Structure 1
Amino acid sequence: MTAQKSDVLIVGGGFMGSASAFFLCQRGHSVTLLERDQIGQYASGVNFGNVRRQGRHLAQLDLANRSWALWKRLPQLIGEDLEFLPSGHMRVCYDEALIDDLHAYAAAPEARELDLEVIAGKALHERFPFLGPEVRGGSYAPHDGHANPRLAAPAFARAAVRAGARVEEGVEVLDVQKVAGEFQVTTADGRLFTAANLLITAGAWGSKLSEQFGEAVPLETHGPQMAVTEPVPYSLPTVIGVYTKVPEEVIYFRQIERGNIVIGGGYRSRPDMLTRRAHVEPRSTLNQIQQMRRLLPAAVNLNIIRVWSGIESYTPDSLPVIGASGKVDGLFYAFGFCGHGFQLGPGVGDVMAELISTGQTSTHIAPFDIRRFSPAPILSSAESPSLQLTSKVL
């Protein structure tokens, strides 16, 4: 069997894998990307399309800022338009007690580049008169916006191909191992791919590959619930999302320039990982309609014309896995983005290319290290710290 060689082999053709392939080629690497189905078919192509930084875990903002700088350079960067609109993003709440949380987030040093503005009461409704009367406050991020997720991963993959990458769809990976300092990937059609570096960007299936190297990640899979309305005159450029402690109140919407209103949030489904299918929950669609009545009363009579779902993976701490393996040299990961990876896509690709090329990155990614899921070492009695009868709130 003749091996097909490259500098970097990427398994998984979502946004992270496609962006990584592009930026690796920009750094002069030979790259092969293998996707079992179609580029961007699962989480990358079916999400809401939020290009937002506000509301993220503060530890993600350094990466999100790097990604935002790249979003601003589209389409010059890749030669294609992803319909990115930096139209602003509002994070609103029904509970006045949560306004303090919005202020605290805006005041955090990590959020200084977001230029957040917290608005409440009469001032909020004068500025956003379309919001329902139950809305008490909100945080406005002027630089955030939205884009078309169906376009993103395929566009980056095409740009990677133009830059010299080999991108193959419909290729199922059967076995991954490292032999004599080289990664070897065997596919279902009997081919062998080899590379000095391996990047796993396989989304909800990422742990299936990482556990072959002794680094399992406890992923849960969920199907996001999405809907879109009939087109109406374009008048809502700002993305709106609800910040709440009540799960069924989680709702967000954006209007695209063609007039349709895209809606997400609410109950999630459990995908069938054998058939690789996720279903829409009727109760979720009904809940979205009910919640939209509260958030955007003017939308009450609009018709829903399409609903869909996808397959997303979630980690226990709601943070992704990004970075180098803790056990195997030349092995890297970028998966488990917990339903909020779309904005991070270009930044993750750029960071992984930098990390693979230089062994380090200027962006703070330590909280996303896969080793946080490794079992804690068992200490001897001499090494064990004395018991503390206090608790620490993180």
Structure 2
Amino acid sequence: MITECDVLVQGGGGAGCSAALHLAQRGVRVVLLERGLVGGQASGVNYGGVRQQGRNPAELPIARRSREIWGRLPQLLGTDAEFSVTGHLKLARSDAEEAELIAYLDVARQYDLPLRMVGRNAIHQDYPWLGPKVVAGSFAPEDGSANPRLLAPALANAARAAGADIREHAEVVEHAHDGARFLLRTKSGEEFSAPVLLNMAGFWGGRVAEVFGEAVPIVPLSPNMVVTEPLRYFVEPNLGVVGGNVYLRQIPRGNIIIGGGHGEADAAVPWSRPLPEVTMLALERAVELVPALAGAQVIRSWSGIDGQMPDRIPVIGPSRTTPGLFHAFGFSGHGFQLGPAIGAIMAELVVDGRTDIPLDPFRVDRFGTTTA
């Protein structure tokens, strides 16, 4: 027996679950197929930064729209996913890095993103717990953080309540298209058919695209993450650095979440783990930023699998080979904040045939690998 619907969504991360929700709210019969548990990979194992600052300019219209959705999560989902507007402080550790922060102010102005430069004198007055290697910073007051383990499940629950059919442990092993409808078969033998397919499968989205003649140079990306024991709460803003080799935030109960570098993974299993030598380097860099973290005990480390593109921005938009196929994958380690808006944009592409968000920079064929 084949389950038929209007739209099939492959991938149950934050973006895929958001797409299911926004489609169901517009009366579309939607089935979402997730190979594991919703939010089980990139959307649920990341750092939790809800960050607009520092993004590629092409992503900023999406990030701005997503920030508006983040602000009304309680109304949309019944939970805020522990979203906290702490601000994002991006730090410079050299003259060259400070120059990069200053240059980005012009980019931010083009997209009405509020940023405030914190100069050499003010940075240590305003944040006396910063180490001496920090020479300047850029503060984004609207940014913050959330709990990545909560967002995708909350979106999935809201989608179910709106009428979406969310299937977990439903790994898709076969794709077909007869010119009018897609037919997907799962590992358990279930079959699903719809005229529209949303490819939102993270790293594995590259394989889906390849099935339809749109191979892209995607590689797996595994963030190396750790969390410390609870400490006295004193680091209010979400911290990043120019170059992105370390980032940290403190949650209200006192734990410090630190990311930096990459773990290892085998996407065929799928399996991933952090690496101790990478963890130690991230901790050293974190202590350079915030010396008071010296001696803090790590209580857990983890990783997951995301997909990274060569230009560090995702593939978003319609297929160039197959009518009814839409892509949104390859978020390169910074898709958590974008997820709610990506779902809304995909719903617009399906139902309205258009979106106001410029998507040309994200075309699937920008790498010149698409075949008819």
TM-score, shorter chain, exceeding 0.5: yes
2:259 aligned counterpart, secondary structure:
strand
Unpaired segments ≥5 residues, structure 1:
378-394
Residues 43-67 of structure 1, C-alpha deviations (whole Å, 9 max, x = no match):
1100000000001001110010000
How far apart in 2 are the matches of 1:71 and 1:115? 17
TM-score, length-normalised on structure 2? 0.97
Amino acid at match of 2:297: N
Counterpart residue number, 1:256: 251
Counterpart residue number, 2:356: 362
Cα gap change, 1:323 to 1:110, in 2 (>3 Å): farther
- Alpha-carbon contact 1:58-1:111 (below 8 Å) kept: no
TM-score, length-normalised on structure 1? 0.92
Residues 187-232 of structure 1, C-alpha deviations (whole Å, 9 max, x = no match):
2222210111100111111111111110011111121100001012
- Alpha-carbon contact 1:106-1:112 (below 8 Å) kept: no
2:158 aligned counterpart, secondary structure:
helix
Residues 344-367 of structure 1, C-alpha deviations (whole Å, 9 max, x = no match):
010101100111111110111211
| Residue 139 of structure 1: how far off its partner (Å) | 0.5
Bigger-Rg structure (1/2) = 1
How far apart in 1 are the matches of 2:242 and 2:110? 17
Amino acid at match of 2:166: V
- The alignment's C-alpha RMSD in Å is 1.4
1:218 aligned counterpart, secondary structure:
coil
How far apart in 1 are the matches of 2:34 and 2:367? 26
| Residue 370 of structure 1: how far off its partner (Å) | 0.4
| Residue 285 of structure 1: how far off its partner (Å) | 1.1
- Alpha-carbon contact 2:314-2:329 (below 8 Å) kept: yes
How far apart in 1 are the matches of 2:270 and 2:186? 18
| Residue 243 of structure 1: how far off its partner (Å) | 0.8
- Alpha-carbon contact 2:61-2:111 (below 8 Å) kept: no
How far apart in 2 are the matches of 1:376 and 1:287? 39
How far apart in 1 are the matches of 2:156 and 2:76? 13
Amino acid at match of 1:198: L
- Alpha-carbon contact 2:214-2:370 (below 8 Å) kept: no
| Residue 374 of structure 1: how far off its partner (Å) | 2.8
| Residue 113 of structure 1: how far off its partner (Å) | 2.1
How far apart in 2 are the matches of 1:328 and 1:207? 15
Cα gap change, 1:197 to 1:376, in 2 (>3 Å): closer
Counterpart residue number, 2:220: 221
| Residue 376 of structure 1: how far off its partner (Å) | 8.5
Aligned counterpart for 2:266 among listed residues 247, 261, 272 = 272
Residues 5-30 of structure 1, C-alpha deviations (whole Å, 9 max, x = no match):
11100111111111110011111101
- Alpha-carbon contact 2:94-2:135 (below 8 Å) kept: yes
Q: Percent identity?
A: 44
Counterpart residue number, 1:295: 289
1:149 matched to 2:148? The reply is: yes
List 4+ stretches of structure 1 deviating above 6 A.
Answer: none
- Alpha-carbon contact 2:258-2:283 (below 8 Å) kept: no
Cα gap change, 1:109 to 1:259, in 2 (>3 Å): closer
Counterpart residue number, 1:386: none
- Alpha-carbon contact 2:92-2:135 (below 8 Å) kept: yes
How far apart in 1 are the matches of 2:140 and 2:147? 19
1:76 aligned counterpart, secondary structure:
helix
Cα gap change, 1:211 to 1:376, in 2 (>3 Å): closer
Residues 227-282 of structure 1, C-alpha deviations (whole Å, 9 max, x = no match):
001012222220011113xxxx71111111111110001x3133112221112111
How far apart in 1 are the matches of 2:7 and 2:362? 21
1:135 aligned counterpart, secondary structure:
coil
Amino acid at match of 2:5: S
